């Protein structure tokens, strides 16, 4: 595993150990949708449910990897000008025990605009940010920024997709930190995943190359599907299905807890 | 120096040492460019880069490309001395590179032909494209019809409204036109939607990007195809005048007609180059599309370049009377030459462009596209400051038929009559 300096939030949890750690559920939320108070409530619930991490989306005006549901949520959040830098300030005000490990997900321009180094400094200072998920920072372009993220102990998640050739996937997981995000389908968030033998094979392959949790995301729209995925993958990321309910806390909590319950029933292959 | 700027500095240094031809192997022109896309698209970009490299080395491919430009599109386009216009301005001579005389009415067809031939070579069966003014959409639909591709065009719904004629043309050519009802409902939003489509369908589909923008290899590939403009113009000028022009002028949306004209002249130190952006109503957020006047370096839709963005890094919407210039970012190679001091950028507002639209129509009997009218307007400004025996070459990138309804509506709104 990597020789990164863990920051506080990642130190809070024991490192992932395949076959020992519980299966990883990673819910995705859009920060500030519909408002930050609601986001805080969702984060608290996720922390008490013991999720592996929350992928916290920071809204961007031009989310090219997202489907309609998350685009709409980002628009709602941007109506009150949710911004990366202020979001970090806000996270710093929440008691650590109310927060699960956080991976901030957004497009590269927001980090670039703030300055990757300033972002890292500030994120580390809050002690609440385990890593970042940046869908439009290609493996090639990330070369310029990987050392920076590492030196601040911010995990830069690695993406693998169904179009990734095998030797390329191997290089990607070698440089990945935090977890490996396997995008199970071609397209944008919110489509519908089908669990094909090719998906299972790729996950199996990735698990042989890395001790990091290999998590499957994009199109996981049923709790039962999440449970099925956890039979062969280390983790599952649930996005649009939950974001759809963000405006109604009652509905969100109900759906989230359904996912939690199903994931607890998962029986990982040994 | 911070480590971050050190990383950027490395790119600049690599370019100064001059890999003789930019971009470098990672698609950077100095600090601009790159491939900021999702992993799903990266293998397709690598495949496209390799296919383009091999095709362009292959003389049979180039022969096919130039052959189709000659027979189908009508190249070379004429170099035309606008005598009456020059006389009326009383300054330098103004020459027009008549890209408006291409088949489908703009320079866009050249890139569409090149990429469609490449897509066929790669075995793709479907073309998708974004369009602003509709000229690139029409060009793509045209080559799709000719070469037997299925075709889908994404167009902001605001542009669908103001470019209704081009929407009809695309449909007539057999393309599906999908209006995009997101963001500012213009070009930027159409590109985002095309990228989303491409990530679903990348196996069978080629994304025929219309300008020298986006992730590598698009800026390189589009510039290579469009450089035929500057190569012809340079030859034609030397033959007609026996010297090179003092100045080149082109309008800049993404920048394909500009880089296409400029690139073959880059090493001609005596030739000054002017890129003209859309000044819109005024240079304040949301009212213009002058990226070098109101923007800063950012990353949008696959490339690092000058971008119009707010203090939080959110992309700003733009305004221009011309749909083809109404865009929040600019091609990375132009950003590179601008910072290197080789190309000067300025902007022309809606009013001045409309004025030039009418002036060129009245003096020369040529109705220019509203995009190209920005270049004409700037050339008129420049002509007054230069001696009579000097020469300005303007890229008349497209014809104005598509714009006459919109201009008539605007004039009516202002209570003006022709």
What are B223-250's pLDDT values in tens digits? 999 999 999 999 999 999 999 999 999 9
pLDDT exceeds cutoff 70 at B19: no
For residue A269, what pLDDT band results from cuts at 50, 70 and 90?
A: confident
Which pLDDT value is given to residue A6?
39
Query: In terms of pLDDT, which residue wins out, B133 or B8?
Result: B133
Contact A108 B37 (CB under 8 A): no
Tell me what the mean pLDDT of segment A63-89 comes to: 95
Annotation says B397 is catalytic? yes
pLDDT exceeds cutoff 60 at B20: no
Q: What three-state secondary structure class fits B353?
A: helix
User: Which pLDDT tens digit goes with each residue over A137-188?
Assistant: 999 999 999 999 999 999 999 999 999 999 999 999 999 999 999 999 998 9
The two three-digit tokens of residue B288, written as one number? 């213009």
Among the options B49, B99, B130, B232, which is catalytic?
A: B130
Residue B356: in which H helix or E strand, if any? Answer: helix B350-364
Contact B309 A113 (CB under 8 A): yes
Query: In terms of pLDDT, which residue wins out, B332 or B1?
Result: B332
Contact B199 A113 (CB under 8 A): no
The two three-digit tokens of residue A25, written as one number? 């559920």
Q: Where does residue B63 rank: exposed (0-12), middle (13-18), buried (19+ CB within 10 A)?
A: exposed
Contact B7 A144 (CB under 8 A): yes
Query: Do strands A214-217 and A180-183 pair parallel, antiparallel, or not at all (unpaired)?
Result: parallel
Which pLDDT value is given to residue A8?
42
**Mean pLDDT taken over chain B:** 95
Burial B207-246 (b: 16+ CB within 10 A, else e): bbbbbbbbbbbbbbbbbbbbbbbbebbbebbeeeeeebbb
Q: What are phi and psi of B314, to 5 degrees?
A: -85, 145
Tally A–B CB contacts below 8 A: 133
Scanning every residue of chain A, which has its alpha carbon at the shortest distance from the alpha carbon of B314? A61
Asked whether B335 and B306 are in contact (CB, 8 A), the reply is: yes
| CA A131 and chain centroid, separation | 9
**Mutate which of A32, A60, A61 to test chain B, going by most B C-beta atoms within 10 A?**
A61
Chain B contact set for A108 (CB, 8 A) = 36, 299
Which pLDDT value is given to residue B15?
63
Scanning every residue of chain A, which has its alpha carbon at the shortest distance from the alpha carbon of B200? A187
Annotation says A66 is catalytic? yes
Among the options B15, B347, B397, B406, which is catalytic?
A: B397
State the Cα–Cα distance between residues A45 and A99, nearest whole angstrom: 9
Which pLDDT value is given to residue B10?
75
The neighbour count for residue A93, using CB atoms within 10 Å, is: 9
Which pLDDT value is given to residue B1?
61
Asked whether B167 and B133 are in contact (CB, 8 A), the reply is: no
Burial B123-151 (b: 16+ CB within 10 A, else e): ebebbbbbbbbbbbbbbbbbbbeeeebeb
For residue A5, what pLDDT band results from cuts at 50, 70 and 90?
A: very low
Chain B contact set for A110 (CB, 8 A) = 312-313
Chain B contact set for A160 (CB, 8 A) = 39
Contact A188 B8 (CB under 8 A): no
Chain B contact set for A60 (CB, 8 A) = 313-314
State the Cα–Cα distance between residues B266 and B128, nearest whole angstrom: 32
pLDDT exceeds cutoff 60 at A91: yes
Kindly report the pTM of this predicted structure: 0.95
Whether the bond between B217 and the residue before it is cis, its omega within 30 degrees of 0, is yes
Asked whether B328 and B241 are in contact (CB, 8 A), the reply is: no
User: Which pLDDT tens digit goes with each residue over A209-267?
Assistant: 999 999 999 999 999 999 999 999 999 999 999 999 999 999 999 999 999 999 999 98
Contact B35 A147 (CB under 8 A): no
- Name, in order, each residue with C-beta under 8 angstroms of B335's C-beta and a sequence gap of 6 or more: B29, B32, B297, B305, B306
Contact A140 B35 (CB under 8 A): yes
Q: Which of A232, A166, A225 is nearest to A193 (CA)?
A: A225
Query: In terms of pLDDT, which residue wins out, B270 or A6?
Result: B270
Scanning every residue of chain B, which has its alpha carbon at the shortest distance from the alpha carbon of A189? B196
Scanning every residue of chain A, which has its alpha carbon at the shortest distance from the alpha carbon of B1? A117
Residue B162 to residues B106, B132, B159, B405, Cα–Cα distance (Å):
18, 10, 5, 8
Chain B contact set for A115 (CB, 8 A) = 2, 4
Asked whether A82 and A104 are in contact (CB, 8 A), the reply is: no
Query: Do strands A235-238 and B302-307 pair parallel, antiparallel, or not at all (unpaired)?
Result: unpaired
Which pLDDT value is given to residue B16?
62
Asked whether B216 and B35 are in contact (CB, 8 A), the reply is: yes
The two three-digit tokens of residue A155, written as one number? 């995990």
List residues in chain B touching A: CB distance below 8 A: 2-4, 7-8, 10-11, 26, 34-44, 182-183, 188-189, 192, 195-196, 199-203, 297-302, 304, 307, 309, 312-315
Among the options A12, A62, A66, A253, which is catalytic?
A: A66
Contact B3 A117 (CB under 8 A): yes
Annotation says B390 is catalytic? no
Give the relative orientation of helices B350-364 and B370-385 as an angle to the nearest 10 degrees. Answer: 80
| CA B176 and chain centroid, separation | 23
Residue B377 to residues B94, B251, B325, B355, Cα–Cα distance (Å):
11, 10, 14, 8
DSSP state of B73: I
Contact B302 A139 (CB under 8 A): no
Chain A contact set for B299 (CB, 8 A) = 107-109, 112, 136
**Mutate which of B39, B130, B193, B302 to test chain A, going by most A C-beta atoms within 10 A?**
B39
pLDDT exceeds cutoff 70 at B56: yes
Tokens 């003209």 — which residue?
B276
Contact A83 B35 (CB under 8 A): no
Scanning every residue of chain A, which has its alpha carbon at the shortest distance from the alpha carbon of B41? A163
- Name, in order, each residue with C-beta under 8 angstroms of B243's C-beta and a sequence gap of 6 or more: B237, B391
For residue B2, what pLDDT band results from cuts at 50, 70 and 90?
A: confident
Contact B42 A139 (CB under 8 A): yes
Contact B302 A83 (CB under 8 A): no
State the Cα–Cα distance between residues B275 and A75, nearest whole angstrom: 34
Strand partners, B393: B95, B248
For residue A10, what pLDDT band results from cuts at 50, 70 and 90?
A: very low
The alpha carbons of chain A give a radius of gyration, in whole angstroms, of 17
Sheet holding A102-105, edge to edge: A155-156, A129-133, A102-105, A54-57, A24-30, A235-238, A214-217, A180-183, A158-160
Scanning every residue of chain B, which has its alpha carbon at the shortest distance from the alpha carbon of A191? B200
Contact B313 A108 (CB under 8 A): no
Residue B277 to residues A5, A244, B264, B386, Cα–Cα distance (Å):
47, 40, 21, 21
Scanning every residue of chain B, which has its alpha carbon at the shortest distance from the alpha carbon of A110? B313
Chain B contact set for A65 (CB, 8 A) = 38, 196, 199
State the Cα–Cα distance between residues B392 and B273, nearest whole angstrom: 10
Burial A243-256 (b: 16+ CB within 10 A, else e): bbebeeeeebeebb
């Amino acid at each position: 595993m990597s020789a990164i300096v863990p920051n506080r939030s990642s130190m809070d949890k024991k490192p992932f150990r395949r076959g020992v750690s519980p299966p990883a559920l990673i819910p995705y939320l859009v920060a500030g949708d519909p408002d930050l108070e609601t986001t805080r409530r969702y984060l608290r619930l996720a922390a008490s449910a013991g999720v592996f991490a929350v992928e916290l989306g920071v809204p961007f005006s031009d989310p090219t990897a997202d489907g309609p549901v998350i685009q709409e949520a980002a628009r709602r959040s941007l109506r009150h000008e949710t911004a990366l830098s202020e979001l970090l300030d806000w996270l710093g005000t929440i008691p650590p025990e109310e927060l699960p490990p956080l991976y901030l997900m957004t497009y590269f321009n927001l980090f670039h605009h703030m300055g990757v180094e300033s972002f890292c400094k500030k994120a580390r200072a809050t002690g609440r940010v385990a890593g970042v998920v940046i869908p439009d920072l290609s493996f090639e372009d990330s070369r310029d920024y990987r050392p920076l993220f590492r030196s601040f102990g911010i995990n830069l998640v690695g993406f693998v997709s169904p179009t990734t050739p095998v030797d390329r996937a191997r290089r990607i997981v070698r440089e990945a930190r935090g977890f490996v995000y396997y995008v199970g389908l071609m397209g944008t968030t919110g489509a519908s995943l089908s669990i094909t033998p090719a998906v299972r094979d790729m996950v199996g392959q990735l698990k042989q190359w890395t001790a990091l949790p290999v998590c499957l995301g994009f199109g996981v729209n049923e709790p039962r599907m999440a449970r099925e995925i956890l039979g062969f993958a280390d983790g599952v990321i649930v996005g649009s299905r939950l974001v759809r309910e963000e405006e109604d806390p009652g509905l969100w909590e109900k759906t989230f807890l359904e996912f939690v319950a199903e994931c607890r029933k998962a029986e990982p292959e040994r | 120096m911070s480590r971050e700027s050190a990383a950027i500095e490395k790119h600049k240094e690599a370019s100064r040492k001059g890999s003789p031809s930019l971009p470098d192997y990672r698609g950077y022109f100095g600090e601009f460019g790159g491939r900021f896309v999702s992993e799903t698209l990266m293998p397709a970009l690598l495949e496209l880069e390799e296919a383009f490299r091999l095709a362009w080395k292959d003389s049979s491919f180039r022969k096919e490309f130039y052959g189709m430009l000659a027979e189908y599109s009508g190249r070379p386009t004429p170099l035309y001395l606008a005598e009456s216009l020059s006389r009326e301005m009383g300054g330098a001579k103004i020459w027009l590179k008549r890209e408006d005389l291409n088949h489908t009415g703009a320079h866009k067809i050249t890139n569409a032909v090149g990429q469609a031939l490449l897509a066929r070579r790669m075995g793709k069966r479907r073309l998708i494209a974004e369009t602003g003014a509709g000229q690139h959409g029409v060009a793509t639909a045209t080559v799709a019809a000719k070469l037997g591709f299925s075709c889908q065009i994404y167009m902001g719904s605001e542009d669908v409204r103001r470019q209704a004629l081009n929407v009809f043309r695309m449909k007539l050519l057999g393309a599906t036109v999908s209006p995009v009802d997101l963001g500012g409902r213009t070009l930027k939003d159409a590109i985002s939607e095309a990228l989303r489509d491409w990530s679903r369908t990348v196996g069978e589909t080629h994304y025929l990007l219309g300008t020298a923008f986006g992730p590598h290899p698009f800026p390189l590939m589009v510039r290579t195809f469009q450089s035929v403009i500057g190569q012809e113009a340079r030859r034609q000028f030397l033959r007609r005048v026996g010297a090179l022009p003092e100045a080149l002028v082109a309008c800049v949306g993404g920048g394909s007609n500009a880089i296409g004209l400029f690139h073959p002249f880059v090493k001609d130190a005596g030739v000054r180059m002017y890129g003209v952006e859309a000044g819109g109503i005024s240079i304040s957020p949301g009212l213009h599309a002058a990226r070098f006047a109101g923007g800063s370096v950012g990353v949008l839709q696959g490339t690092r370049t000058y971008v119009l963005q707010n203090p939080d890094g959110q992309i700003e919407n733009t305004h221009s009377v011309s749909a083809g210039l109404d865009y929040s970012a600019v091609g990375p190679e132009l950003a590179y030459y601008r910072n290197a001091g080789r190309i000067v950028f300025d902007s022309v507002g809606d009013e001045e462009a409309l004025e030039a639209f009418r002036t060129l129509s009245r003096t020369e009997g040529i109705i220019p596209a509203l995009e190209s009218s920005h270049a004409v307007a700037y050339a008129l400004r420049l002509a007054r400051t230069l001696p009579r025996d000097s020469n300005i070459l303007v890229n008349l990138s497209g014809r104005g038929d598509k714009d006459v309804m919109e201009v008539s509506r605007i004039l009516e709104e202002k209570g003006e009559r022709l």
